């Protein structure tokens, strides 16, 4: 944001904070208010909990380990059929992978 005169500073700062808060909301980041965003300049340490903070919250299958002689497609179809109606995040991931 570029301003041409000191009087515009009174409008530029709230505008920048409003845009920052709005952009955070678009990205799924809840910012309680512009004063919180403004105070982040003093942050020197960030502590994260183990789950849900830097993840998408959507499980995915990263690998399928088969017994000797088993067909991957068949195993996935059977597992997907079992988990098709599941509401559990892991069950949903298996059903998605099977499709």
pLDDT in tens, 49-83: 776 667 777 889 999 999 999 999 999 999 999 99
Q: Are residues 19 and 65 in the same domain?
A: no
Local confidence band at 94 (pLDDT 50, 70, 90 cut-offs): very high
Q: Both 55 and 98 in a single domain?
A: yes
Q: Are residues 15 and 53 in the same domain?
A: no
* Nearest C-alpha neighbor of 75 from the set 86, 67, 90, 88: 67
Q: Which of 2, 41, 44, 49 is catalytic?
A: 49
Q: Identify the domain containing residue 65 by its residue range.
A: 48-99
User: 11-34, pLDDT tens digit by residue?
Assistant: 888 888 888 888 988 988 888 888
Task: Give the confidence band of 1 by pLDDT, cuts at 50, 70, 90.
Answer: low
Q: Is 44 one of the annotated active-site residues of the chain?
A: no
* 33 and 76 inside one domain: no
Look at the pTM and tell me if it is higher than 0.85: no
| 31 and 73 within one domain | no
Do 52 and 99 sit in the same domain of this protein? yes
> Which CA distances in Å does 13 have to 6, 10, 21, 36, 38?
11, 6, 12, 14, 10
Confidence of residue 91 (pLDDT cuts 50, 70, 90): very high
Residues 25 and 67 in one domain: no
Q: What is the 3-state secondary structure (H, E, C) of the chain?
A: CCCCCHHHHHHHHHHHHHHHHHHHHHCCCCCCCHHHHHHHHHCCCCCCCCCCCCCCCCCCCCCCCCCCCCCHHHHHHHHHHHHCCCCCHHHHHHHHHHC
Q: Which two tokens stand for residue 83?
A: 């988990």
34 & 72 share domain: no
Is residue 1 situated within a structural domain? no
Domain count of the chain?
2
* Tokens read off for 76: 């996935």
């Amino acid at each position: 944001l570029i301003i041409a005169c000191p009087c515009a500073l009174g409008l530029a700062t709230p505008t920048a904070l409003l845009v920052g808060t709005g952009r955070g909301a678009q990205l799924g980041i809840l910012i309680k208010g512009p004063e919180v965003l403004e105070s982040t300049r003093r942050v020197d340490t960030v502590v994260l909990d183990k789950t849900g903070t830097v993840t998408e919250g959507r499980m995915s299958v990263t690998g399928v380990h088969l017994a000797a002689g088993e067909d991957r497609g068949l195993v996935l179809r059977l597992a997907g059929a079992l988990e098709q109606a599941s509401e559990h995040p892991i069950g949903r991931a298996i059903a998605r992978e099977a499709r």
